[in-house]
């Protein structure tokens, strides 16, 4: 009899023991007599609402993914500018690449953290994604002469075999890629996300250290005793999303084209 593994789950999911604890018959009767449910109506409502939000979020990311690849030629032309501009470089782009395989399950390009009751999520940054696409493992020459980039892959860590799809920003065609190392896909991306997590963690520590210093300065002046240093804690400033960046880059190219056209007309 063949054993079939679901690629969407890792081997740990199959081996993991259930977290449920058996309830005795006496305890069940007492609980029911008290009108208590193991899963309350409020808990069930929260679960359903979270599922609806998740579905909406998935549609949201699919729209962003299409937008990114539809404008990938524009993004590649402005690669250096994006890398040099923090508000562009830090844009979440985890939805742009996906993968997974037997035994390891899906690749996670975004991680959620619960810190002191606050949930925050770290996704693969656009700058990180662009650097990944510069490596030989994640790019392939297209027949049109352009360079296609890997956007999905699957395979097995045991055999090392893989299949992938790449997208060419020049001719807008998808290319099938075979016989590349699965491990160099999977673990390289996992390491890249870990580095982004580390970057963000260090940034938070640095900003908190600065906030404490600013607070102490004001306390020494005798005019600032409350609130605590948290009032001096700030983020990176202006936030930018993919949609805004693409529009700004298009406007820059339009302005440059218009200016160049005017110069040519004046010369003639």
pTM of this prediction exceeds 0.75: yes
SS3 helix, strand, coil % of the chain, rounded to 5?
55, 15, 30
Q: Are 164 and 98 in contact (CB under 8 A)?
A: no
For the segment 72-91, the average pLDDT, to the nearest whole number, is: 96
> Strands 147-155, 98-101: parallel, antiparallel or unpaired by DSSP?
parallel
Residue 5 — very low, low, confident or very high, per pLDDT cuts 50/70/90? very low
Taken in order 10, 194, 109, 167, the sign of the CA dihedral is negative
Place of tokens 């056209």: 261
Say if residue 19's pLDDT is above 80.
no
What confidence category does residue 268 fall into, taking pLDDT thresholds of 50, 70 and 90? low
CB 182 within 8 A of CB 155: yes
CA distances from 91 to 96, 128, 155, 219 (A): 12, 10, 28, 36
Residue range 96-135, pLDDT digits in tens? 999 998 888 999 999 999 988 988 899 999 999 999 999 9
- What pLDDT, on the 0 to 100 scale, is given for residue 26? 78
C-alpha distances in Å from residue 5, one per residue of 155, 156, 186:
12, 11, 18
* Residue 10 confidence class, pLDDT cut points 50, 70, 90: low
pLDDT tops 50 at residue 44: yes
Angle made by CA atoms 100, 101, 104, in degrees to the nearest 5: 90
Write the burial class of residue 213 (CB in 10 Å: 0-12 exposed, 13-18 middle, 19+ buried): exposed
Is pLDDT at 1 greater than 60 in this prediction?
A: no
Domain locations along the chain: 41-267
pLDDT at 111: 92
What distance in Å separates the CA atoms of residue 177 and residue 167, rounded to the nearest whole number? 11
């Amino acid at each position: 009899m063949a054993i079939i593994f679901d690629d969407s789950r890792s081997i740990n999911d199959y081996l993991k023991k259930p977290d449920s604890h058996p309830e005795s018959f006496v305890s069940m009767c007492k609980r029911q007599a008290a009108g208590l449910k193991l899963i309350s109506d409020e808990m069930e409502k929260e679960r359903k609402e979270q599922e609806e939000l998740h579905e909406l979020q998935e549609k949201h990311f699919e729209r962003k993914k299409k937008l990114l690849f539809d404008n990938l030629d524009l993004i590649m032309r402005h690669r250096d500018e994006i890398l040099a501009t923090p508000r562009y470089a830090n844009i979440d782009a985890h939805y742009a690449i996906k993968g997974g395989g037997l035994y390891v399950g899906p690749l996670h390009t975004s991680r959620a953290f619960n810190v002191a009751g606050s949930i925050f999520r770290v996704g693969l940054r656009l700058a990180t994604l662009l650097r990944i696409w510069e490596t030989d493992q994640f790019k392939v020459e297209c027949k049109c002469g352009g360079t296609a980039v890997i956007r999905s892959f699957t395979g097995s860590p045991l055999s090392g075999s893989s299949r992938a799809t790449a997208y060419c920003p020049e001719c807008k065609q998808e290319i099938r890629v075979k016989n590349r190392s699965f491990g160099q896909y999977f673990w390289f991306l996992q390491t890249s996300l870990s580095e982004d997590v580390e970057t963000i963690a260090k940034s938070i520590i640095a900003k908190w250290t600065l906030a404490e210093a600013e607070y102490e300065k004001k306390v020494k002046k005798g005019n600032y005793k409350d609130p605590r240093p948290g009032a001096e804690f700030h983020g990176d400033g202006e936030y930018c999303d993919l949609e805004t960046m693409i529009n700004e880059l298009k406007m820059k190219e339009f302005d440059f084209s218009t200016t160049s056209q005017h110069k040519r007309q004046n010369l003639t």
